[in-house]
Chain A
Amino acid sequence: QKEVEQDPGPLSVPEGAIVSLNCTYSNSAFQYFMWYRQYSRKGPELLMYTYSSGNKEDGRFTAQVDKSSKYISLFIRDSQPSDSATYLCAMRTGSARQLTFGSGTQLTVLP
């Protein structure tokens, strides 16, 4: 079983929809949680970062962490065609400097 599980999709939604992307994990020592966005044929880039449980909002994006359920989510409001990309969750323990990534969810927002 992988430490981090992520539904690979693909996920296709109409412009303006609310998108929910999710990851589950098995290692209870994970404390830091990130979402990276990767456009086609590019390297990933950091989108959101959260520490421990709770919500964090940045514009149209909200990251949510539920440590009791070992479940993290990324919500995208008013989705745009420019949001079409692969979204990877990533996480690490408090002492680690390396990240463990999910397999990524491919999202397409249709105009």
Chain B
Amino acid sequence: DAEITQSPRHKITETGRQVTLACHQTWNHNNMFWYRQDLGHGLRLIHYSYGVQDTNKGEVSDGYSVSRSNTEDLPLTLESAASSQTSVYFCASSGSPDTQYFGPGTRLTVL
């Protein structure tokens, strides 16, 4: 069965370190998204991609970057982790605009 996976599921890091969160989907979807979820804010879009070599900034992109070298993967990099980036991160993919399939999430703690 097709699926979307994220790794690691939990990560603790220190302020200033570079961190990369992996997202891999086997749906063969062109559209992929990264969100962060915080209490009181819901899901906020960080970056998104509509295909290989395409990346776009979302609502809260400062301090984050993505690259899309193939259809299956969209890694999210925190260039220099900050305590404000402690959050739960969700990756999603979609073939149609309205049905996004979400991964299980990564809990990131920045100390």
Structural contact, B42 and A88, CB atoms closer than 8 A: yes
- Number of chain B interface residues as a range: 20 to 34
Q: Quick one: CB contact mask for A77-109 with B, threshold 8 Å, 1 for yes?
A: 000000000001000100011110111100000
Task: Indicate if A74 sits at the interface (CB-CB under 8 A).
Answer: no
Structural contact, A32 and B58, CB atoms closer than 8 A: no
Structural contact, A92 and B97, CB atoms closer than 8 A: yes
Which of A12-20, A36-44, A63-71 faces chain B?
A: A36-44
Which of B13-21, B43-51, B65-73, B76-84 faces chain A?
A: B43-51
Residues of B within 8 A of A (CB): 31, 33, 35, 40-45, 48, 50, 58, 90, 92, 94, 97-105
With A45-B101, A49-B98 known, 19 other A-B pairs at CB within 8 A are A43-B90, A43-B102, A43-B104, A43-B105, A44-B43, A44-B90, A46-B98, A46-B100, A88-B43, A97-B50, A98-B33, A98-B48, A99-B45, A99-B97, A101-B35, A101-B43, A102-B42, A104-B42, A104-B43
